[in-house]
Amino acid sequence: MSQPKSANITHQEACVTRVQREARLGQRGATVWLTGLSASGKSTVARLVDQALHQRGKHSCVLDGDNIRFGLNRDLGFSPEDRNENIRRIGEVAKLFAQTGTIALTAFISPYRGDRDRNRAINAEGDFIEVFLDCALDVCEKRDPRGLYAKARAGQIPEFTGVSAPYEAPKSPEIVLHTDREDEVGSAAQVVAYLEENGYLRAPSE
């Protein structure tokens, strides 16, 4: 048997607890689940919150179509089963981040209440913060930055949320952002304020 090369490594209590990680990071881990129609501003708000947290010395991440659809969920299409599985996996990954003390911001339409509630249910109380981007359909459709609504109206995208598939609004979200009347910067500031006021930006023992 060789001797330990680092005095920092001992066999006792080899498991770093979540609270220890959170204390180190000076924050509490959580899933911040943004939901809303296409073009309601989810990715933009998530990135603005992420940026604001970084500037405050906090550790967060953004999970959105860019890094999930072409990676972890590249095997999934858009069938009902695959959409369901898409949201399930994202909820599990966000939970893994939260358990390491990270504030994980997710930005997916996630139109079904059941899918979102299931993701809430795998988390402890307070670990899942649902953020509803309440943006009128006509405003989203007018923005249409990627031309998706136009394609959906033309019948080129089947089962498009808000056009040919339902969006089930959250019943009791922690935060509601009116992104049709408030700009994304103001919306992001509301999320940061919620995190601040509810103790997510302090170490758990403080």
Q: What is the DSSP string of 95-154?
A: HHHHHTT-EEEEE-----HHHHHHHHHTS-TTSEEEEEE---HHHHHHH-TTSHHHHHHT
Does position 79 bind a second copy by CB under 8 A?
A: no
Which pair of structure tokens corresponds to residue 152? 């959906």
Q: Which is nearer to a second copy, 2 or 172 (CB)?
A: 2
On whether the CB atoms of residues 103 and 29 are closer than 8 A, the answer is: yes
Among 21, 113, 151, 153, binds a second copy (CB under 8 A): 21
Does position 4 bind a second copy by CB under 8 A?
A: yes
Residues of span 22-61 touching a second copy by CB under 8 A: 24-25, 44, 47-48, 50-52, 54-57, 59, 61
Q: Which is nearer to a second copy, 91 or 170 (CB)?
A: 91
Does position 122 bind a second copy by CB under 8 A?
A: yes
- Active site (annotated) includes residue 110: yes
Q: Which is nearer to a second copy, 63 or 135 (CB)?
A: 63
Q: Which is nearer to a second copy, 143 or 153 (CB)?
A: 143
Residue of 159, 103, 169 lying closest to 136 (CA atoms): 169
Q: In sequence order, which residues have a C-beta less than 8 Å from that of residue 63 and are 6 or more positions away?
A: 90, 93, 94, 97, 104, 105, 106, 107, 108
Q: What is the largest CA-CA distance in the chain?
A: 70
In angstroms, the CA 122 to CA 187 distance is 27
Among 144, 182, 201, 204, binds a second copy (CB under 8 A): 182
Which residues sit at the interface with a second copy, rule CB under 8 A?
A: 1-6, 8-11, 13-16, 20-21, 24-25, 44, 47-48, 50-52, 54-57, 59, 61, 63, 67, 71-72, 75, 85, 89, 92-93, 95-97, 99-100, 102, 122, 181-186, 188-190, 192-193
